[in-house]
Chains A and B, each alone.
Chain A
Amino acid sequence: EVMLVESGGGLVKPGGSLRLSCAASGFSFSSFSMSWVRQAPGKGLEWVASVSSTSSHIFYANSVKGRFTISRDNAKNSLVLQMDSLTAEDTAIYYCARATKWGDVHYYYMDVWGKGTTVTVSS
């Protein structure tokens, strides 16, 4: 079964840091690009960051650029989101999601989602 399991969420003070992890299983992780998507309480989905299968291409939303770092370890089937300089506006459920590929072409729409991990930024 294809699965994504996020961990690392929690309560952090403004200005603090948090490291989210996503463990992938049931598919060839190293073949797929991956993304983080978040959802603030009562709000819509917000794309956060994406990384290509070999980490050669990395993309960030303007709202997190310079503060968040996405990375992956294909040997460990793991995706990471390092979040620094957190503010209350970063409070959200963070989803790990698999981007799609058709042959060798990667498309950044998400066909598999984890259940999410909750990040709360509050003093």
Chain B
Amino acid sequence: DIQMTQSPSSLSAAVGDRVTITCRASQGISKYLAWYQQKPGKVPKLLIYGASTLQSGVPSRFSGSGSGTDFTLTISSLQPEDVGIYSCQKYNRAPFTFGPGTKVDIK
């Protein structure tokens, strides 16, 4: 099965900083990658699908890129409400594995 990894596992950044999270698949998955945000105590929320397509209603400071095995989620200007855990998920074929998550907080 394809394994998903993320780096870093956690990060702390200042408001306004540009933040980049990496997700890597152990084998190529084309662009079948989604990103989720989970705020503390809340339900996961879909941010991006198809590696780079923003889900409706998601702020434009979020963006995604990549294909094959390497993907990135970028927050162009970190806001206090962006604190939470960010997870990637592959969906090219089962198992639809999630990455381990990246915890983002404010410095």
A contacts, CB < 8 Å to B: 35, 37, 44-47, 50, 59, 61-62, 95, 100, 107-111, 113-116
Contacts and interface: CB of A to CB of B under 8 A. Distances in A.
A45 B95 contact: no
B98 A109 contact: no
Interface stretch (B15-23, B43-51, B60-68, B74-82): B43-51
Contacts, number: 59
A111 B36 CA distance: 9
A114 to B, nearest CB: 7
Nearest to B34: A109
Nearest to A65: B95
Q: Is the interface of A mostly helix, strand, loop or mixed?
A: strand
Contacts of B87: 44-45
Given A45-B87, A47-B98, A110-B89, 14 more contacts: A35-B96, A37-B98, A44-B85, A44-B98, A45-B38, A47-B96, A95-B44, A107-B32, A107-B91, A108-B94, A108-B96, A109-B34, A113-B45, A115-B43
A50 B96 contact: yes
Contacts of A37: 44, 98
B55 A111 contact: yes
Nearest to B42: A115
Interface in B18-36: 32, 34, 36
Nearest to A110: B46
A116 B43 contact: yes
Given A47-B89, A116-B43, A62 B1 contact: yes
Contacts of B96: 35, 47, 50, 59, 108-109
